[in-house]
């Protein structure tokens, strides 16, 4: 792994040293098959690249299954393209092949600390749209269904369940995700090849590669998951249409005797937000525990922001409590503002502390714990906490997302009628 990191770092230095040529290179628009070289092997994903009306500027989207996730505006400088994902402190940097203008070679890098980066080699080629192997209408194995899953499993048996896999296979192409008590793995896309499953996701923050062998005798999958630069976990799953997770309403709760949350946190514009502020008095209020670095929080925000615009006249408010990598407003304030701008957030978002769950719980001492980002807290018109939902099943979970939206709306309707 050290060799892989050093090779990627050396490649990045080479790239940054080549960007000084006078005439910027030309990059072809279209769909690219991109790959990262990880410790677990090649991790593929899609890139949709389109030239803008501005010189040397492109829009780029990461493509995973049905999701097309916009990245920040990409720019060509010299012979290289720079594709930033500022919310996640990461970027793709690649040299454009001067002969084809449809081939990229470079690195994905993520800042770990000030001026410190970790990197993985990156390549992309225009025109290829397959994931791991070319799509086929036929596959030897069908994995469509619901899978009771245990990550971190060394025994090879599913004795407990800490995740539920949901897969939808058409031919040899598989889309799906894993539900967990703290959220989901977002949009996974891949292929079945013989008796093996391959899934991947890259969205600028999540870097996931799943591999597993299928055993038809006991209808089980056994394999590994590689995450980020060096993360690894084994996993085992069995086909089980009744697989369920713990009730998300019972993981985070108020300590005995507590009825509300008492907090006052600063916002990037120099104000403070408290549940006792006049604008929340007599209103149903949703408190969103979140972070700008968190893709699952982005999924929830993508639901809450337009929902708030449609419903705020009914007497509903939302407060975002953002737990960031730094408690310094000078560092985290701009990240919060970028997220507010990206998702057109009209409700206040305050910096509540760091994203360490133990430290986050200290910021909200009435809670037993902060188990997950995001967590959603529902407060009635009297200012009392009525319901807490840990985690979020995003749109990549299909019907589970629809069920969450229905439950959310029913609860708000109930609280508004009281």
My answer on whether 348 and 282 are in the same domain is yes
Domain assignment of residue 133, yes or no: no
**Claim to verify: residue 170 and residue 234 sit in the same structural domain:** yes
Query: In this predicted model, what pLDDT tens digit does every residue of 21-80 receive, in sequence order?
Result: 457 888 999 999 999 999 999 999 999 999 999 999 999 999 999 999 999 999 999 999
- What is the structure's pLDDT at 252? 97
Strands 196-202 and 188-193: antiparallel
133/130 Cα distance (integer angstroms): 6
Residue 353 falls within a domain, yes or no?
Answer: yes
**What's the Rg (C-alpha) of the chain?**
23
- What digits encode the pLDDT tens for the residues 161-170? 899 999 999 9
Q: Which are the contacts of 131, defined by CB distance < 8 A and separation ≥ 6?
A: 44, 173, 189, 190, 191, 198, 200
170 and 226 in a single domain? The answer is yes
- Structural domain boundaries enclosing 383: 265-417
Q: Are residues 115 and 227 in the same domain?
A: no
18 has a pLDDT exceeding 80: no
- Give residue 83's pLDDT: 97
Residues 279 and 374 in one domain: yes
Q: What pLDDT shows up at residue 19?
A: 47
In a domain, residue 88? The reply is yes
**What confidence tier does 291 reach under pLDDT thresholds 50, 70, 90?**
very high
**Is the predicted pLDDT of residue 3 greater than 90, yes or no?**
no
Mean pLDDT score, 111-140: 89
pLDDT at 117 (0 to 100):
83
- Tell me if 193 is assigned to some domain: yes
Q: What is the pTM of this model?
A: 0.89
Number of domains in the chain: 3
Q: Taking all residues of the chain, what is their mean pLDDT, rounded to a whole number?
A: 92
Cα 9 to its chain centre, rounded Å, is 25
pLDDT at position 114:
64
Residues 232 and 318 in one domain: no
Are residues 368 and 255 in contact, defined by beta-carbon separation less than 8 angstroms?
A: yes
**pLDDT for res 113:** 63
What is the mean predicted confidence (pLDDT) over 172-177? Answer: 97
Give the whole-angstrom CA distance, residue 172 versus residue 341: 39
Q: For residue range 381-408, what is the model confidence (pLDDT) as tens digits?
A: 999 999 999 999 999 999 999 999 999 9
Q: Residue 117 phi/psi, 5° resolution?
A: -130, 155
How far apart are the two ends of the chain, measured CA to CA in Å? 58
Tokens of 193: 């090849």
Tokens of 189: 């896309």
| pLDDT-based confidence at residue 15 (cuts at 50, 70, 90) | low
Average the pLDDT over each of 1-15, 91-105, 276-290, 363-377 and give the range with the smallest value.
1-15
Domain co-membership, 121 together with 175? no
As given in the structure block, the two tokens for residue 133 are: 């192997």
Residue 341 is predicted with a pLDDT of 95
Is residue 223 in a domain? yes
381 and 325 share a domain? yes
Say how far apart CA 33 and CA 49 lie, in whole Å: 11
Is the pLDDT reported for residue 140 higher than 90?
Answer: no
Residue 89, CA atoms < 13 Å, CB-side half-sphere: 20
- Which residues make Cβ contacts (< 8 Å) with residue 197, sequence separation at least 6? 143, 174, 190, 191, 210, 211, 212, 213, 214, 221, 223
Residue 96 resides in a domain: yes
CATH number at residue 154: 2.40.128.120
Which CATH number does the domain housing residue 367 bear?
Answer: 3.40.30.10
Question: Are residue 151 and residue 92 in the same domain, yes or no?
Answer: no
Q: Is the peptide bond before 374 cis (omega within 30 degrees of 0)?
A: yes
Q: What pLDDT is recorded for position 154?
A: 76
Average pLDDT on 199-204 reads 96
Quote the pLDDT of residue 13.
45
The CA distance from 355 to 412, in Å, is 28
CA distance 105 to 377: 45
**Judgement on whether residues 271 and 412 belong to the same structural domain of the protein:** yes
Rounded to 5 degrees, what angle do the CA atoms 233, 298, 62 make? Answer: 70
Task: For residue 79, tell me if it sits in a domain.
Answer: yes
Q: Are 73 and 61 contacting, i.e. CB atoms less than 8 angstroms apart?
A: no
Say whether both 294 and 404 belong to one domain: yes
């Amino acid at each position: 792994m050290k060799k892989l990191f050093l090779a990627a770092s050396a490649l990045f230095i080479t790239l940054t040293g080549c960007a000084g040529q006078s005439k910027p290179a030309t990059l072809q628009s279209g769909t690219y098959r991109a790959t990262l070289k990880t410790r677990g092997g090649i991790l593929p994903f899609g890139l949709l690249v389109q030239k803008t009306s501005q010189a040397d500027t492109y829009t780029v989207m990461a493509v995973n299954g049905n999701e097309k996730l916009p990245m920040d505006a990409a720019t060509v400088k010299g012979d290289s393209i720079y594709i930033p994902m500022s919310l996640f402190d990461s970027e793709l940097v690649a040299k454009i092949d001067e002969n084809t203008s449809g081939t990229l070679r470079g690195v994905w890098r993520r800042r770990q600390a000030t001026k410190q980066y970790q990197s993985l080699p990156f390549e992309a080629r225009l025109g290829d749209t397959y994931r791991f192997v070319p799509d086929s209408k036929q596959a030897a194995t069908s994995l469509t269904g619901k899978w009771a899953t245990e990550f971190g499993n060394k025994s090879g048996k599913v004795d407990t369940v800490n995740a539920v896999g949901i897969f939808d296979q058409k031919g040899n192409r598989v889309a799906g995700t894993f539900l967990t008590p703290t959220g989901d793995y977002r949009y996974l896309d891949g292929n079945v090849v013989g008796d093996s499953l391959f899934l991947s996701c890259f969205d600028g923050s999540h870097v996931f590669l799943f591999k597993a062998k299928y055993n038809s005798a006991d209808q089980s999958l056994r394999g590994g998951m590689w995450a980020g630069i060096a993360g690894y976990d084994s996993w085992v799953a069995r086909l089980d249409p009744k697989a369920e997770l713990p009730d998300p309403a019972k993981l985070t709760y108020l300590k005995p005797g507590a009825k509300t949350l008492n907090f006052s946190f600063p916002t990037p514009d120099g104000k403070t937000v408290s549940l006792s502020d006049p604008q929340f008095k007599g209103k149903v209020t949703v408190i969103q525990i979140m972070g700008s670095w968190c893709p699952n929080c982005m999924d929830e925000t993508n639901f809450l922001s337009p929902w708030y615009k449609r419903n705020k006249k009914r007497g509903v408010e939302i407060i975002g409590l953002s737990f960031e990598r730094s408690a310094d407003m000078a560092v985290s304030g701009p990240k919060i503002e970028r997220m507010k701008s990206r998702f057109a957030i009209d409700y206040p978002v305050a910096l509540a502390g760091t994203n360490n769950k133990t430290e986050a719980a200290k910021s909200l001492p009435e809670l037993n714990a902060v188990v997950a980002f995001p967590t959603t807290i529902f407060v009635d018109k009297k200012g009392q906490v009525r319901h807490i939902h840990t985690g979020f099943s995003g749109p990549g979970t299909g019907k589970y997302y629809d069920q969450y939206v229905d439950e959310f709306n029913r609860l708000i309707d109930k609280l508004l009628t009281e």
